[in-house]
Amino acid sequence: MSLIKKLAGETALYGLSSIVGRFLNYLLVPLYTRTLIPAEYGVSNELSAYAGFLMVIFSYRMESAFFRFGTPVEDRERSYSTAVWSLLGSTTVIVAVLLAFSQPLADFLNYSAHPEYIRWFALILAFDCLAELPFARLRLEQRPQRFVFIKLFWIVTNIGLNLFWLLFCPWAAKNGWTWVYSVWSPQLGVAYIFLANLAASALTLLLLLPQLRAIRWPLDGALWVKMMRYAAPLIIVTFAGIINEMLDRAILTRLLPGTLEENRAQLGIYAANYKLAMLITLFTQAYRYAAEPFFFRHAADKNALNIQASATKWFTIAATVGMLGILLFLDVVKGFVGKNFQGGLHVVPILLVANLLLGLYYNFSVWYRLKDRTMLGAWISMGGALITVLLNLWWVPTIGYVGAAWATLVCYAFMCAATWYTGRKHHPVPYELGRMGLYVAVALLMFGVSRWLEPMLMAWPVLLWAARAGLFLGFLGLVWILEKGKKNVVV
C-alpha cells in the first residue's frame, strides 16, 4: 500500500476530530462575535493565550517523550506508566499553587474582580494535561476511531453548552421562561465560555479512564530521567512556539496605546480575524496527529527520506489550496465573524501565509526529533521567539495589531528556513522546494489578480464570482497537470 495514501487516510480520520470537529467548534466564532462585544471577546482570547503558556508547564512534552521511548511495543507499558505518574504528580502540585494564589494572579492580570477565572482555567488545564498521554497512546497504537470519538465528544459538549448558555438561555429568559435563572445568570456573560470548556474537559477525561487505569506502579526512575532529558529541549521548543503563536494576544492590551477597554476591543477584533486565518491550521493539526507517529514508525525504512519529501509536498499542495480558497472567497468566509469585528479582515492574508509557513516548519522540523537533536530545535525556536518579542514591541505600539500579524509572518519564515537549512546536513530530505514554492507563488498571484479584477467587476457580481471560481479551478488544474503521472512512494 502507498505510504502516502496510508498517511492521507490516517490524516482524514484524525481530521474528523480536527478539521470537521474544529470547524464545528468554529461555529462558535459567529456566536461569540454576535453575542459578545469586542472587549468581552478580547477577555476570552487573552486568558486563553495565558492558558497556552501554562499548558507547556503542565505537560512538559511528556507525550513526545512517550512517542520516542514507547514506540517499541516491549517498552510501551513501562514508558506509558512512567509518563502518566509523572504528570499526575506535577499536575497536582501546579493546580494546588494556582488555586492558592488565584487572587494575586487575578490582580496581576487585571482581573481582580474575577479570581474564579484563574481557578477554572487551572482545572481546565489539569484535565486537558492528564488527557494528553491517553490520546497519545491511542495515536501510537493506531486507534484513530476511539481518538476521533472522544475528541468529537469534547467538541459537541463544548458547543452544546455554549449554545445553551449564550443563546438559548437569554432567548428563554426573554420569553418568560423563568426556570432558566436556576442554571443561568445574565451577569456571567463571557464566563460561560470558560465553564463550557471546563465541563467538556472533565467529561472527556472520564471517557479516557480506561487508558488511565492501564498504568502500572512503580514509576521507572531511570527511564523517567531519560524521558525528561529528551523532553527538556522540546519544552523550550514548545514554549517558544507558544510565544510565537500566543504572545501577540497576551500582550496586545499592554502595548496598544488606548485604554484597557479599548485595547481589549482591538484584541477581540484581531483574535476574531486570526480565527479566519487559522482555518488552514485545522488541516495542519490533523496532519500532525497522523504524521508524527507515522514518521517515527517508518524512520528506519530505506526510502524514509523520499516518503517525507513526498508527504511535505502534498501537505503544501493541500494547504495552499485551502489558503487560496479562503483568499478568493473572503467575502463568504468573513461571515464567520460579526460586523463589529470585520474591520480587521486586512490581516487575514498576512496570517494565512504565516500559518502556511508554520505547517512547513512542522514538516521540516521532524528531523531533529528523529535524530535526537532536539536542543538544536530549541535554539531555532528561541530565535523565532526573540523575533516575535522584538517585532511586537517595535511594531504594535506604532501600527497596532497589523504589526502583530507581520511579526508572526517574519517569525515563521525564519523558523521554516532555519529548520530546512540545518536539516540538509543531518537529515537530507530531497524536498521539491521549487515545485512547492511555485504553488505558493501562483496562489498568491491568483489572489492578486482577483483583487485587481474586483473594481472592474463589482457592478457584475456574477462575473466576479465566476472569475474567482475560474482562478481557483485554474490552480487545481495546474496541480493536476504537474503532478499527473508522478508515482507515490510505496513500501
Over its length of 491 residues, how does the chain's per-residue pLDDT go in tens digits?
Answer: 455 566 556 555 655 555 666 666 667 777 888 888 888 888 888 888 888 888 888 988 888 888 888 776 767 788 888 888 999 999 999 999 999 999 999 998 888 888 999 999 999 999 999 998 898 888 777 777 788 889 889 988 999 999 999 999 999 999 989 899 999 998 888 899 999 999 999 999 999 998 888 778 777 788 889 888 888 877 877 888 788 878 888 888 889 988 888 888 898 899 888 888 877 777 777 677 666 667 776 666 778 788 888 888 999 999 999 999 999 998 888 887 888 888 888 999 999 999 999 989 988 888 887 777 877 888 888 899 999 999 999 999 999 999 999 999 999 999 999 999 998 887 888 999 999 999 999 999 999 999 998 888 888 888 989 999 999 999 999 999 998 866 544 33
The helix/strand/coil state of 446 is helix
Q: What distance in Å separates the CA atoms of residue 108 and residue 325, rounded to the nearest whole number? A: 42
Alpha-carbon dihedral angle through residues 462, 463, 466, 468, given to the nearest 10 degrees: -110
User: What pLDDT is recorded for position 441?
Assistant: 95
| Consecutive H or E run containing 260 | helix 260-277
Rounded CA gap, 37 and 166, in Å? 13
- Distance, CA of 162 to CA of 167 (rounded, Å): 8
Give yes or no for a contact between 388 and 413, defined as CB atoms under 8 angstroms apart: no
pTM of the model: 0.74
Q: How many CB atoms lie within 10 A of CB 227?
A: 24
| pLDDT at res. 170 | 92
Measuring CA to CA, which residue among 315, 225, 274 is closest to residue 8? Answer: 315
Q: How many CA atoms lie within 13 A of 482 on its CB side?
A: 15
Task: Locate 91 and state its grid cell.
Answer: 499536575
- DSSP assigned state of 16: I
Nine-digit cell string for 287: 496532519
Tracing cell 469585528 back to the chain, one arrives at 341
Please give the distance of CA 153 from its chain centroid, rounded to a whole number: 18
| Predicted local distance difference test score (pLDDT) of residue 129 | 93
Number of Cβ within 10 Å of residue 1's Cβ equals: 9
Reference 165, options 143, 140, 142, 187; nearest CA is: 187
**pLDDT at site 489:** 44
Cell readout for 258 is 488606548
CA angle, 129 as apex, 160 and 79 as ends, to 5°?
Answer: 135
How far is 31 from 169, CA to CA, in rounded Å? 14
Structural contact between residues 233 and 370, judged by C-beta atoms closer than 8 angstroms: no
Q: Element (H or E) spanning 246, and its range?
A: helix 221-255
Q: So what's the pLDDT on residue 41?
A: 83
Q: How far is CA 73 from CA 68, 70, 141, in A?
A: 12, 7, 9
The half-sphere exposure of 233 on its side-chain side, counting CA atoms within 13 A, is 15
Between CA 367 and CA 431 the distance in angstroms is 13
Burial letters 63-87, b for 16+ CB under 10 A, else e? bbbbbbbbeeeeebeebbbbbbbbb
Q: What angle do CA 118, 204, 101 make, to 5 degrees?
A: 15
Q: What is the pLDDT of residue 80?
A: 86
The predicted structure's pLDDT at residue 390: 95
Q: Is the CB of residue 342 less than 8 Å from the CB of residue 282? A: no
Q: How far is CA 165 from CA 30, 43, 128, 295, in A?
A: 15, 18, 22, 43
pLDDT of residue 11: 58
CA distances from 207 to 130, 212, 221, 376 (A): 12, 10, 29, 37
